[in-house]
């Protein structure tokens, strides 16, 4: 789909310089910018779905509470402060 939009001259100059530097067309740079904008402004919980299951199947961290205790062993207990 084609979209007609007005972009300030100074932004076009920067866009053209970036496109030239990355050896892409102006249109490709605009498409990438739109994609980046949409990703940045997407549902803030999407990172949860992307990260779900990262630690699945790790034998060294079977129990989350036990793992937290292990990484905090070197800390001074709250009662001793």
Structure confidence at residue 59 (pLDDT): 77
Q: In which element (H, E) is residue 33 found?
A: helix 26-40
In a domain, 72, yes or no: no
In a domain, 53, yes or no: no
Q: Give the total number of structural domains in the chain.
A: 1
Q: Which residues contact 28 (CB under 8 A, 6 or more apart)?
A: 19
Structure confidence at residue 56 (pLDDT): 78
Q: Is the pLDDT of residue 66 over 90?
A: no
**Per-residue pLDDT tens for 12-63?**
999 999 999 999 999 999 999 999 888 877 766 777 777 787 777 777 777 7
In a domain, 58, yes or no: no
Q: Average pLDDT for residues 65-75, to the nearest whole number?
A: 85
Query: How many CB atoms lie under 10 A from the CB of residue 4?
Result: 4
In a domain, 64, yes or no: no
Domain that holds residue 18: 8-43
In a domain, 32, yes or no: yes
In a domain, 20, yes or no: yes
In a domain, 52, yes or no: no
In a domain, 38, yes or no: yes
User: How many Å apart are CA 68 and CA 71, to the nearest integer?
Assistant: 5
User: How many Å apart are CA 68 and CA 18, to the nearest integer?
Assistant: 45
């Amino acid at each position: 789909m084609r979209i007609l939009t007005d972009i300030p001259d100074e932004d076009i100059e920067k866009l053209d310089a970036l496109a030239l530097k990355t050896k892409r067309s102006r249109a490709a740079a605009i498409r990438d910018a739109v994609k980046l904008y949409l990703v940045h402004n997407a549902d803030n919980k999407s990172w949860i779905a992307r990260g779900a299951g990262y630690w699945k199947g790790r034998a060294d961290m079977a129990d989350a509470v036990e793992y937290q205790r292990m990484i905090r062993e070197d800390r001074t207990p709250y009662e001793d402060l």
